[in-house]
């Protein structure tokens, strides 16, 4: 199974859809301590993704990784959020090839570190290609209505490619 380091927004997005399980059906998923803290530090008990991530970790479906090179994290901090930086640095420390990360600037930095970024839309696309979901248009619509920035061009191109 492909090992990936995942940032917070894809976990939140998949939790909004009630489909976090797709992540660990398709990938061997790691998150950093910072990403975990971002998700579970919500002020309310029902913060999106909080219960889902805690359950997945308790069941061993998602693993937490402690980033070693905090000096590099601190040097890069300010250009991106700490969770995004730790996702990228953690993936390099574990010698992974893929990160699941949505933010454009974070995806760009990941490529500079010779990582292959996949976003929540890419996760949904892979799920459809593996026949784990029948269609992704309703999922993408829910994400867009929840505030996820998915360009009209990406939306239309992907749906056309997948025959939706």
Answer whether 0.85 is exceeded by the pTM.
yes
Helix 137-145, helix 8-16: angle, nearest 10: 110
pLDDT on residue 155? 87
Sheet holding 2-6, edge to edge: 62-65, 27-32, 2-6, 98-100, 116-118
What topology does CATH give the domain 2-119? Answer: Rossmann fold (3.40.50)
pLDDT on residue 78? 84
Could you tell me what percent of the chain has a pLDDT over 90? Answer: 74
Place of tokens 């994290």: 73
Nearest C-alpha neighbor of 18 from the set 147, 124, 114, 162:
124
Token digits for 116?
């292959």
**Residue 64: in which H helix or E strand, if any?**
strand 62-65
| pLDDT at residue 95 is higher than 90 | yes
pLDDT in tens, 38-70: 998 865 556 788 889 999 999 999 999 999 999
Is-contact 28 5, C-beta < 8 A?
A: no
């Amino acid at each position: 199974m492909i090992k990936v380091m995942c940032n917070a927004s894809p976990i939140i997005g998949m939790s909004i859809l009630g489909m976090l399980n797709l992540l660990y059906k398709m990938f061997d998923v790691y998150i950093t301590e910072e990403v975990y803290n971002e998700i579970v530090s919500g002020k309310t008990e029902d913060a999106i993704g909080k219960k889902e991530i805690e359950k997945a970790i308790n069941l061993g479906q998602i693993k937490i990784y402690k980033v070693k090179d905090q000096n590099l994290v601190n040097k890069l901090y300010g250009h991106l959020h700490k969770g995004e930086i730790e996702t990228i640095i953690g993936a390099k420390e574990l010698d992974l090839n893929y990160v699941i990360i949505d933010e454009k600037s974070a995806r760009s930095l990941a490529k500079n570190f010779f990582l292959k970024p996949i976003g929540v839309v890419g996760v949904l696309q892979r799920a459809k290609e593996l026949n784990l979901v029948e269609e992704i248009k309703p999922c993408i619509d829910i994400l867009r209505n929840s505030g996820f920035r998915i360009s009209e061009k990406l939306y239309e191109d992907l749906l056309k490619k997948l025959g939706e």
